[in-house]
């Protein structure tokens, strides 16, 4: 059995369990079967131990809202099939105590240093499982129709708040009560609900099935829950094809929206049970629930870009601010790809999402190639390796390509562009880029008929 690390999925057996779990007909039954093997009073082989730990971690993924995993991870896909309950979570917590006990082969195989690492990872799984049980310390209300959902009456500041929770999604009703409600049926029909935490894990249809929850007017004019639920980035290659989108949730339908489309859209915070419990402790006597600060899409974008600085550093290698000042973009032989790249990537309908330095630099480079091929950029500024492609390229450059290059240069100069942002710590190079991009745009514009 292959083992690559000390985490719950760092072994072949656990990964096989996840792959099979995605296809099983009864996810909860599969989890319970894996957990039950470690309840037996006998010696447990590594495959049983790792499967049980993987089962616990899948439940923990749900309870933590997918924290630490991307939506396209197989573990995330597997966990999204689960609807945990308190009994299952308690069983997972018990099973974790057996992962390294005297009947575990894993306990016999790890040395002292490895044992510390395994124990640390087990504790992380345990903490996320316990996080999902935070609301269970509050009294529950009766919830008709939906057995999987719990409703909690939270007393604080002389008032009562109602929170709905199915161990994967949390809804806090936008209403405060003087007396404790005994049932969700007592909550007036017109009271609104605010959806705090709904990622990809678990449907929200069950909540809507109550027939009493309504979306906040500030979020949507339609009769659906609408909130931006996360931002995700993916890179399909080392050089380009890097895309970052915000995701909108309309019921259970997901669509990708570029930053430019959603930067002013209302944003719903991710709000996990332990955060809610902490907020309740600070609840003031006036009956208003103080929620965590809600980041705007612009703030999320800034946070994301800051995290990318070190990853993007290699694209900035070189001197100057011209389109050929970033050698990484043309360090390979690109002669066979220039024409299709220009046709594909230089388009007048391209909108700069303002989220990716490699994308912006790549299009800036292509605009420079177009300019050089028609003499709008001096050939002396072009690297020797690219000069041979300029003459044959001229036959493919016409009004559409020039117009597209002008549009691209305007996009990399606008407020959403990443290039001037990441060069802000190098003022001379930033000024050089701005001068170059503006000069190229003016030179290309001059080649077009009035």
What mean pLDDT comes out for the span 64-91? 82
Q: How far apart are CA 338 and CA 327, in angstroms?
A: 15
pLDDT at position 393 over 70: yes
Last residue in a domain, options 132, 153, 179: 132
Give me the pLDDT at residue 256, please. 41
Residues 338 and 398 in one domain: yes
* Same domain (yes/no): 154, 292: yes
| Pairing of β 159-165 and β 253-257 | unpaired
When pLDDT is cut at 50, 70 and 90, the band that residue 300 belongs to is low
What is the number of other CB atoms lying within 10 angstroms of the CB of residue 123? 11
Q: Does a structural domain hold residue 3?
A: no
192 shares a domain with 266: yes
CA atoms of 368 and 358, how far apart (whole Å)? 15
Same domain, residue pair 374 and 276: no
Structure tokens at 283: 């609840």
Counted domains in the chain: 3
Domain assignment present for residue 1? The answer is: no
- Spatial neighbors of 311 by CB under 8 A, at least 6 apart, are none
Where among 303, 326, 341 does a domain terminate? 303
Helix (H, G, I), strand (E, B) or coil at 8: coil
Nearest alpha-carbon partner for 168 in 149, 144, 153: 149
In a domain, 258, yes or no: yes
Same domain, yes or no: 297 and 317: no
Lowest pLDDT segment from 18-32, 98-112, 175-189: 175-189
The answer on 425 and 320 residing in a single domain is: yes
Give the pLDDT score at 284.
Answer: 40
pLDDT (tens digit per residue) in 149-204: 788 887 766 777 777 787 877 776 656 678 888 887 777 655 544 444 443 344 44
CA-based max dimension of the chain = 87
Last residue of a domain, one of 106, 132, 158: 132
The answer as to whether 2 is a domain residue is: no
- Total residue length of the chain: 450
3 DSSP assignment: B
420 against 242, higher pLDDT: 420
Domain range enclosing 155? 137-303
The share of the chain scoring above pLDDT 90, in percent, equals 30
- At residue 441 the predicted structure's pLDDT band, cuts being 50, 70 and 90, is very high
Q: What is the mean pLDDT of the chain?
A: 75
Report if residue 69 sits inside a domain: yes
Residue 295 · residue 269 · CB < 8 Å: yes
Residue 384 predicted with pLDDT over 60? yes
- 158 and 94 part of one domain: no
Specify whether 148 is located in the same domain as 259.
yes
As a whole number of angstroms, the distance between CA 420 and CA 321 comes to: 10
Distance CA 357, CA 233 (A): 13
* Residues 317 and 363 both lie in one domain: yes
Q: What per-residue confidence (pLDDT) applies to 39? A: 77
| Residue with more model confidence, 40 or 428 | 428
Domain contains 5: no
Q: Can you say whether the dihedral through the CA atoms of 67, 69, 71, 75 is positive or negative?
A: negative
Confirm whether 23 is domain-assigned. Answer: yes
In a domain, 7, yes or no: no
Q: Do residue 155 and residue 292 come from a single domain?
A: yes
Residue 256 and residue 318 in one domain: no
pLDDT of residue 276: 67
Q: What is the pLDDT of residues 335-376, one digit of tens each?
A: 888 999 999 889 887 777 667 888 889 999 999 999 999 999
- Residue 325: predicted pLDDT: 95
Residue 424's SS3 state is coil
State mean pLDDT over 109-124.
Answer: 89
pLDDT at res. 1: 46
Looking at the predicted structure, is the pLDDT value of residue 205 above 60?
Answer: no
Distances, alpha carbon 234 to alpha carbons 71, 80, 314, 349, 355, in Å: 10, 20, 18, 22, 11
Q: Are residues 141 and 108 in the same domain?
A: no
């Amino acid at each position: 059995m292959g083992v690559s690390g000390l985490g719950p999925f760092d072994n072949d057996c656990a990964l096989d369990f996840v792959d099979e779990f995605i296809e099983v007909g009864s996810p909860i039954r599969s989890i319970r079967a894996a957990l039950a093997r470690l309840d037996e009073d006998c010696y447990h082989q590594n495959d049983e131990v790792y499967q049980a730990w993987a089962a616990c971690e899948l439940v923990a993924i749900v309870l933590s809202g997918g924290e630490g995993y991307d939506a396209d991870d197989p573990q995330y896909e597997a966990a999204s099939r689960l609807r945990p309950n308190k009994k299952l979570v308690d069983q997972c917590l018990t099973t974790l105590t057996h992962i390294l006990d005297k009947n575990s082969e894993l306990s016999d195989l790890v040395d002292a240093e490895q044992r510390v690492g395994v124990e640390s990872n087990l504790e992380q799984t345990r903490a996320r499982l316990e996080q999902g049980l935070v609301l269970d310390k509050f009294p529950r209300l009766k919830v008709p129709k939906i057995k999987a959902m719990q409703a909690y009456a939270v007393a604080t500041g002389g008032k009562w708040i109602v929170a709905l929770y199915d161990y994967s999604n949390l809804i806090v009703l936008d209403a405060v009560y003087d007396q404790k409600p005994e049932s969700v049926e007592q909550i007036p029909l017109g009271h609104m609900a605010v959806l705090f935490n709904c990622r990809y894990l678990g449907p929200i249809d069950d909540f809507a099935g109550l027939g009493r929850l309504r979306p906040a007017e500030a979020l949507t004019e339609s009769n659906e829950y609408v909130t931006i639920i996360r931002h995700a980035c993916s890179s399909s290659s080392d050089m380009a094809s890097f895309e970052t989108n915000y995701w909108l949730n309309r019921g259970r339908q997901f669509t990708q929206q570029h930053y430019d489309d959603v930067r002013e859209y209302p944003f719903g915070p991710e709000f996990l049970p332990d955060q809610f419990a902490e907020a309740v402790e600070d609840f003031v006597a006036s009956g208003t629930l103080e929620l965590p600060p809600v980041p705007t899409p612009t703030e999320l974008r800034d946070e994301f870009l800051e995290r990318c600085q070190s990853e993007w550093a290699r694209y900035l290698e070189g001197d100057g601010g011209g389109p050929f000042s970033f050698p990484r973009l043309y360090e390979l032989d690109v002669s066979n790809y220039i024409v299709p790249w220009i046709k594909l990537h230089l388009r007048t309908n391209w909108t700069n999402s303002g989220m990716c330095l490699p994308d912006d630099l790549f299009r800036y480079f292509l605009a420079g190639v177009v300019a050089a091929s028609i003499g709008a950029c001096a050939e002396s500024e072009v690297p020797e390796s690219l000069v041979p492609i300029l003459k044959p390229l001229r036959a493919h450059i016409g009004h559409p390509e020039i117009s597209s290059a002008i549009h691209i240069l305007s996009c990399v100069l606008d407020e959403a562009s990443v290039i001037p942002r990441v060069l802000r710590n190098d003022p001379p190079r930033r000024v050089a880029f701005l001068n170059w991009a503006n000069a190229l745009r003016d030179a290309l514009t001059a080649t077009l008929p009035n």
